[in-house]
Amino acid sequence: MSPTVFREGGYRFFFFSREEDRLHVHVISGDGEAKFWLEPDIELAKNYHYSRKQLKDIEQLIEEHKNEIVSAWQEYFGN
């Protein structure tokens, strides 16, 4: 199961149900997919096919929605 946190700009931001404990978010679109750590700072963990510009745009969206992502993480995973 991979619950969606939000969608914007053609990207879907989501979690995997059974993955590592460190706070992070996945993003996917028709162009590729990536994983970003959210703590201690927003940082790219993995990238599959996104350009530097796309990664910059995605990181900006994560920054804008960080509180929403963290709240969804805490609600979903209970920590």
**pLDDT score, position 79:** 65
Percent of the chain with pLDDT over 90: 84
Q: What range defines the domain where residue 31 resides?
A: 4-77
Write down the pLDDT at residue 53: 98
Within its chain, how far is the Cα of 30 from the centroid?
Answer: 15
Which pTM does this prediction carry? 0.93
For the chain, give the percent of residues with pLDDT over 70: 97
The alpha carbon of residue 77 and the mean position of all alpha carbons in its chain are separated, in whole angstroms, by 15
Which residues of the chain carry a pLDDT beneath 70?
1, 79
